[in-house]
Amino acid sequence: MQLVRSPEVAAARGPVVALESTLVAHGLPWPENLAVARELEDTVRARGAVPATIAIVDGAVHIGLAAELLEQLARDGSRFAKAGATDLAVHLARGTSAATTVSATAVLAARAGIRVFATGGIGGVHRGDAGDVSHDLVALAKTPIAVVSAGAKAILDLPRTLELLETLGVLVLGYRTSELPAFYTRSSGLALEHRVDSITELAAIARLHWEMDRGGILVANPIPADAALAGIEPAIERSLADAAAANVTGKQLTPFLLARIAAVTAGASIRANRALAVHDAAVAAELAVELGTV
């Protein structure tokens, strides 16, 4: 498998931070998605690291996207499939294009030697009894990478997601928090075993974790207080009901729910999503600089 590094990533002599492309292609509407994608990259640069938005374009793995490719991804997201880690070989063999989810981005970033990845929120165990569990959790358990996110997406069953993370052996570190963040809100009521209050300690723990040949680390980084949404649960419940009525399942469920929540909240959830994603990118860049990874 050949990795096509963007000129910026290829020229990097310092730390690189991976960014997912599903948020751009399927998570936000045009042109908000392009603005957010650019802001995430600029945030990483401003803190001394190099951004690498990852995607598959015509069967080639791109580690970092040139400006024109990033705009193409944002403007023509429907051309890009939604690819998890298990889908990668299919797109590579067929020469198709795909935006990468958390699981796929983590796997490809690690393959490129990148140890820090910023995303809005990871997938997990969906609500209800359908047994729908995101592969993000399994990929994170196996992949030596630190994923900085505002917890798991609020549309999920957060207690079961946290329990499964523990079962799979994923180290969860609360960054300046003692509770698992709930994406749109800073708190879920779910206590975390480990709280870390400095980037220096966070990097020290990560180094030792990987020296013992362990897998992924989830850095739970709460949404900024001034961007958090109070009273979001009714909007989530209504969106879940709409998804059930429309029989939306599988890979289409999360994009559907995020779009419905955005509609129900009159765009407030999109603004919150943007704020938390930018905050995650900032912390990820600081961690990458401290680690000194390339």
Give the pLDDT confidence score for residue 145 in this predicted structure: 98
Catalytic-role residue among 32, 41, 82, 153: 153
pLDDT digits 0-9 by tens, 15-55: 999 999 999 998 888 999 999 999 999 999 999 999 999 99
The pLDDT > 90 percentage for the chain reads 82
168: exposed, middle or buried (Cβ count in 10 Å: 0-12, 13-18, 19+):
middle
Mean pLDDT of 136-143: 97
Q: What's the pTM value of the predicted model, to 2 decimals? A: 0.94
Q: Which of 20, 32, 286, 290 is catalytic?
A: 20
**What burial letters (b/e) apply to 72-100, b meaning 16+ CB within 10 Å?**
bbbeebeebbbbbbebbeebbeeebbbbb
Tell me the CATH number at 218: 3.40.1790.10
How does pLDDT run across 207-218, given as a tens digit for each residue?
Answer: 999 999 999 999
Question: Tell me: the pLDDT tens digits for 66-99?
Answer: 999 999 999 999 999 999 999 999 999 999 999 9
pLDDT digits (tens, 9 = 90+) for 230-268: 888 899 899 989 988 998 887 788 888 888 998 999 989
Q: Give the pLDDT of residue 294.
A: 44
Give the chain's domain count: 1
- What is the average pLDDT score of the chain? 94
Asked if 166 is an active-site residue, the reply is: no
Q: Are the CB atoms for 97 and 69 separated by under 8 Å? A: no
What range does the domain containing 97 cover?
Answer: 3-291
Predicted confidence at residue 293, as pLDDT, reads 52
Can 286 be counted among the known catalytic residues? no
